[in-house]
């Protein structure tokens, strides 16, 4: 009997919202991609985490994270120790049509 791959929960609107934000690690705008967190416990072989567990990263930092291999250590190097909580907060803001709070949260990190 063939194995059925579970359907991943997607939200294109949230991914678009994340790409409109500055990078969580550098604060740079533009060329931001949505990084799906690796350590959510909600992914399987060949599956990304659900879209709600994504954070905005500059594409260069995103690429470096995947080359580094250890997501937790990599993000900690940028002072991010609670990426899953941040993703949860950003998703809640998105659902409530609050685009200012995530932007302000990111920019305060660089003041």
The residue among 65, 46, 47 whose CA lies nearest residue 55 is 65
pLDDT of residue 18: 95
pTM for the model: 0.86
Place of tokens 């959510």: 40
CA separation (Å) from 43 to 6, 7, 33, 35, 40? 10, 11, 19, 14, 7
Q: Mean pLDDT across the stretch 50-69?
A: 94
pLDDT of residue 40: 60
For the chain, give every domain's residue range: 12-108
Q: 74 in helix, strand or coil? A: helix
Q: Is the pLDDT of residue 1 over 80?
A: no
């Amino acid at each position: 009997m063939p194995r059925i791959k579970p359907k991943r929960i997607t939200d294109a609107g949230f991914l678009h919202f994340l790409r409109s934000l500055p990078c969580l690690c550098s604060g740079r705008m533009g060329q931001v991609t949505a990084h799906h967190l690796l350590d959510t416990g909600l992914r399987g072989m060949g599956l990304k985490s659900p879209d709600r567990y994504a954070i905005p990263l500059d594409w260069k930092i995103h690429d470096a994270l995947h080359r580094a291999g250890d997501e937790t250590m990599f993000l900690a190097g940028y002072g991010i120790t609670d990426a899953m909580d941040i993703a949860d907060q950003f998703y809640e803001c998105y659902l409530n049509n609050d685009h200012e709070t995530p932007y302000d949260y990111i920019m305060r990190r660089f003041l």
